[in-house]
Amino acid sequence: MKMRTVFISVIFCLFCTAGVVYGAEVAKIGIIDFQTVIDASIAGKRSAVEIKSQGKKMEQVLKEKEAKIEELQKSLEQKALVMSLEAREEKERNFRIMANDLQSLKRRYLENLKDLNLKLSDEIKKDVFEIAEEIGRREGYLLILERRFGGVVYAPDTIDITDRVIEAYDVLDTKRAGKKDKSTGRSEEKES
């Protein structure tokens, strides 16, 4: 009798815990830091160089225009007393026009830099999200969030998959660059 009771108890415990074991699924969650991807990936570094290059070109143009305006202002100040009223008014009008044009050019350049930054960031974001989605499917993630914009206040480093995303993105970017180089090389060979 005792043996029978023990046997039934063991079977009962097995059936009770079996449902819990099979029903318990570990929620696998990942975190990506998009800013780190931009800072550390090959494409992100390349886009930063491109933005800085464009910014320096624009800055050089602005400096040249500022120098012209300063020169005109000095000339106007030096010759103001000996100029006729009409000539002085004409020079002052030209000065104001050039100063307004410079301000307008600064605003346009800033807008162009913002647009370039947004365009390059969107290209990177599109690729990173595709890579994260592929990693999520392949490795069984339930959820992958962006660290800063996903509302994540705290997450342990163990669930951060940013480094894997950067590695995959660098591989993808290198393949793309190789294809571009090959296609460019072929067209150069045809031209020769």
Q: What is the pLDDT of residue 155?
A: 74
> What is the domain partition of the chain in residue ranges?
26-178
Least confident interval from 28-42, 48-62, 147-161: 147-161
Which position has the token pair 């570094």? Answer: 45
Averaged pLDDT of the chain: 82
**Residue of 56 and 80 predicted with greater confidence:** 56
Phi and psi at residue 121, to the nearest 5°: -65, -40
Least confident interval from 10-14, 28-32, 127-131, 137-141: 10-14
pLDDT above 80 (res 183): no
What distance in Å separates the CA atoms of residue 48 and residue 143, rounded to the nearest whole number?
Answer: 30
**Residue of 52 and 12 predicted with greater confidence:** 52
The answer for residues whose C-beta is within 8 angstroms of residue 99's C-beta and 6 or more apart is 69
pLDDT above 60 (res 19): no
Q: What is the pLDDT of residue 95?
A: 87
What distance in Å separates the CA atoms of residue 120 and residue 50, rounded to the nearest whole number?
Answer: 9
Q: Kindly report the pTM of this predicted structure.
A: 0.68
Q: Is 39 strand, coil or helix?
A: helix
Handedness of CA 93, 97, 98, 103 (dihedral sign): positive
Which position has the token pair 């993630």? Answer: 141
- What is the average pLDDT across 40-66? 94
Residues in the chain: 192
- Report residue 186's pLDDT band, with 50, 70 and 90 as the boundaries: very low
- The per-residue pLDDT for range 104-131, each reduced to its tens digit, is 999 999 999 999 999 999 999 999 989 9
Tell me what percent of the residues of the chain surpass a pLDDT of 70. Answer: 80
pLDDT above 70 (res 85): yes
